[in-house]
Amino acid sequence: MNAPEPTTEQITAWRNLLDAFAQVSASWDAAVAIDRDAGPDEGPTSSVPEPLHASFARAAAETSDVLTGIAEALAEHEADGTFAEVARTQRAARDAWSSAHSSSSG
């Protein structure tokens, strides 16, 4: 049974998600480069201001939930189980991020 053709709205939503991931990746690379230029003892986590820690924990928890959904969607369309394993480990990561966010926000 073949899957139905995606609608224009669905394709747009998936492309927007891919664009958002590209922007997150580029922003992370820029943060790493800035911290690397700041000195040898600096790293991407050393310059995150403490007032932003809870916000980053929330954002990471939300993003981890998105990654879990993507892995589960990909797992539905595979035969060898590769994405099923990714989905399993991503669910564990999502749960860890959610717990960390709960701890940091309250």
pLDDT tens for each residue of 23-64: 999 998 998 888 777 776 655 656 778 888 889 889 999 999
Asked if the structure places residue 95 within a domain, the reply is: yes
Question: CA 30: distance to chain centroid?
Answer: 17
The reply to whether the predicted model has a pTM over 0.75 is yes
- Of 90, 58, 46, 55, nearest to 71 by C-alpha is 90
Domain range for 79 is: 71-106
| Model confidence band, residue 78 (pLDDT cutoffs 50, 70, 90) | confident
Asked if the structure places residue 88 within a domain, the reply is: yes
Asked if the structure places residue 80 within a domain, the reply is: yes
The Cα–Cα gap between 47 and 102 comes to 22
Residue 93 pLDDT? 94
Asked if the structure places residue 48 within a domain, the reply is: no
Asked if the structure places residue 79 within a domain, the reply is: yes
